[in-house]
Structure 1
């Protein structure tokens, strides 16, 4: 202890205070500084939830059509239907993370994210949910209660949203989806797609009812579906009737099959 005291006195009086300062400064000047020790993260509390301070961070979210009407629904394949269910359930499972204090689409807790990040993530997943519902309205004859039972997942809002922005799904509908179905009405028959959804569930009676309703409303896709069912059941008389209905509306596929049935004597 005496040796340390003696050394300190020797340095101070022989080198001087200024030299001591320079010696200390030179010793630490080339060492990396841990900034997390120097400045602690700052937080803010909004509506009872704690976040990193945003420091004027800007939103990166933007409204757009996500293309579900073109790439996921509207074709009569099992793969398309399964993709719908998977996409919808994934969006629901991600958005409800906010009620556990987790940023949707991540495993990041709120205290590691700003409010803007959480809000952007919420809007992104609500936009997905909204636009899949919007496509569902076109497919299921404007019935908003079809897509969720078919998918097996339900979005009923969140406590976080009620306490904060109070976004509603309809705010994220996109006019491009409506224009797409308006311009492709025959190729995206709501009757036909609802019937296919029932078939994928094994509900053939319900599917037939939908196709019959579609045929009454001059839906060519429904007429062809009924004709196809009739052929599979060897009911050639009914098949001829439905293909004739579609042929009279100018469908080339129906015209060809109807002519073959006539040539075959049915």
Structure 2
């Protein structure tokens, strides 16, 4: 009886060891990552995608061009380093769980209206064509372009299918000034900003809204050339001096529709 119990325990240990080894091997394999939405640059040669970064690894985006569609494929490969004298890579601890990520790839010819297809899911990605965006004609002194993003201050969570499809251009200024953002989106859908409306104002000859928050953030929203626009600041800390509303109005008035 004792011998048969020992045999069962040894068999169970072998099975568990095999499962653990398979799990480690699976963790080291690249995996396809589903995409949420895309931005296409004004020249059509750059595609930026957003994805759910709920996992560890290094993310690589590639594009396969066809006559009617551009297939984009995002792969997550586990980050690996070599310890002293180690023969095999070891996984690096993950520090970016449950975050939204972006990746960019260049294509050989302009996307030019072709569909963007997510290889991981086979579905066409909702996207914004950079050729439709209003051009920025004025920035406050010291402000420079920092990055393009999908960020918005909407009350709808970014992972939700109802999240507004937006293109946000982020500008940074002097150390004592807040970040300036210009968000553009197609008509319809949820509000771009979940901030209270303080007043109705005229923006570039159109009716708009002024938003102010207790934290010092401020915004102008209106419709320009069929696009919903928001020009606003985001306070990084309490020591930043808010931009005068007149500066937001100057940025707004200088935007030119495509």
TM-score where L is the length of structure 2:
0.28
- Answer 1 or 2: which has greater helix percent: 1
Higher Rg of the two aligned structures: 1
Q: Calculate the TM-score normalised by the size of structure 1.
A: 0.27
